[in-house]
């Protein structure tokens, strides 16, 4: 820098030295932002962005044996573990809730609750039973959760909920969740008949919906009752028996993973991880070819336009005039 009486002169090097230095991380981040991402990177980014809105809902299911004293533990799992936090549905049986139990005692942050407590008069039992369904609010708006049907009798307890979630593949209209509990002393045929009639009526009304049937079936299976459905729980849920089952009307929709039980329950939880691929991703790639005009063909077409007598086409002619 040089001073004079009239003006002040600055040199380039001192001015550049006053500029703050950029970090290498900021430069690399700016470079990644301006660069062109590939198809795989874009797919991973979309998967991360839509992790709360999968094609089919991730499900954690199991028999809890009293939900009231395990709500705090479940809330801690939702807060601290990503698997529970990003799960869309919790389907629990044997909640042991009564009409005197307030919803505030069993609610989870970020989830809407749907209960179907056991009716002691209809079931003929003095305690136990009960169904509960927790739906993630990031996956489905609470205003789009509708209870379709609730059944309680000596042979079965059943809860049907329809869900219009934020995202669903084009081939599936919405999701319908059926939570089931069949007691050990129940009549097998009577319980299967109730499930079959309920699901058949729902499929008649909603043929394009995605169906999930989850619950404690004890000694009952739906292989012959609903042959078009597929069962996905392949791990023991209590000792060496697979009592809790999950059926869906889509092949290869889930993969089962065992989880630790809630509290001191002797039934483990099962995580159903989605494996379903939307139809748009399963279709083969189509190749289309287009013919492009060459410069010689364009010049020939221009010559045809230039030599055409357009007045013949534009001049009006009388109707009904014959020559000859």
User: Which residues lie closer than 8 Å to 217 by C-beta, 6 or more apart?
Assistant: 180, 182, 243, 244, 245
Tokens linked to 129: 């039973």
Does the pLDDT of residue 33 top 60, yes or no? Answer: no
Q: Band of the pLDDT at 5, cuts 50, 70, 90? A: low
- The structure's pTM equals 0.74
Q: Measure the CA–CA gap between 114 and 118, rounded to whole angstroms.
A: 13
Tell me which H or E stretch contains 93: strand 89-93
Give the residue-averaged pLDDT of 63-86.
93
Does the pLDDT of residue 217 top 70, yes or no? Answer: yes
Q: Measure the CA–CA gap between 145 and 165, rounded to whole angstroms.
A: 9
**3 state SS of 235:** coil
**3 state SS of 150:** strand
What share of the chain in percent tops pLDDT 90? 55
The string of pLDDT tens digits covering residues 116-128 is 999 888 887 878 8
Q: Measure the CA–CA gap between 166 and 54, rounded to whole angstroms.
A: 9
Q: Band of the pLDDT at 23, cuts 50, 70, 90? A: low
């Amino acid at each position: 820098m040089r001073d004079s009486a009239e003006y002040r002169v600055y040199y380039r090097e001192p001015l550049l030295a006053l500029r703050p230095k950029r970090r290498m991380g900021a430069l690399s981040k700016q470079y990644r932002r301006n660069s062109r991402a590939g198809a795989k990177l874009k797919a991973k980014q979309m998967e991360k962005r839509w992790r709360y809105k999968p094609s089919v809902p991730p499900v954690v299911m199991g028999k809890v044996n009293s939900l009231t004293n395990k709500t705090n533990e479940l809330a801690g799992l939702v807060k601290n573990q990503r698997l529970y936090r990003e799960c869309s549905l919790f389907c629990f049986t044997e909640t042991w809730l009564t009409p005197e139990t307030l919803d505030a005692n069993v609610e989870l942050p970020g989830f809407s609750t749907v209960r179907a407590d056991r009716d002691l008069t209809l079931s003929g039992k003095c305690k136990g039973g009960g169904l509960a369904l927790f739906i993630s609010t990031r996956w489905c708006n609470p205003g789009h959760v509708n209870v379709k049907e609730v059944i309680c009798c000596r042979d079965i307890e059943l809860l049907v909920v329809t869900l219009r979630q934020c995202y669903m593949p084009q081939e599936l209209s919405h999701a319908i969740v059926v939570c089931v509990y069949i007691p050990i002393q129940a009549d097998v045929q009577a319980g299967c008949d109730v499930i079959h009639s309920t699901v058949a009526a729902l499929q008649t009304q909603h043929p394009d919906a995605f169906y999930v049937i989850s619950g404690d079936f004890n000694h009952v299976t739906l292989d012959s009752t609903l042959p078009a459905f597929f069962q996905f729980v392949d791990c023991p849920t209590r000792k060496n028996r697979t009592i809790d089952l999950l059926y869906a009307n889509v092949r290869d929709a889930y993969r089962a993973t065992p989880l630790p039980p809630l509290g001191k329950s002797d039934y483990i939880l099962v995580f159903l991880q989605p494996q379903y691929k939307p139809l748009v991703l399963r279709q083969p790639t189509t190749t289309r070819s287009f013919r492009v005009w060459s410069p010689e063909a364009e010049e020939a077409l221009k010559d045809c336009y230039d030599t055409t007598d357009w007045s013949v086409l534009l001049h009006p002619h009388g109707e009904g005039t014959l020559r000859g």
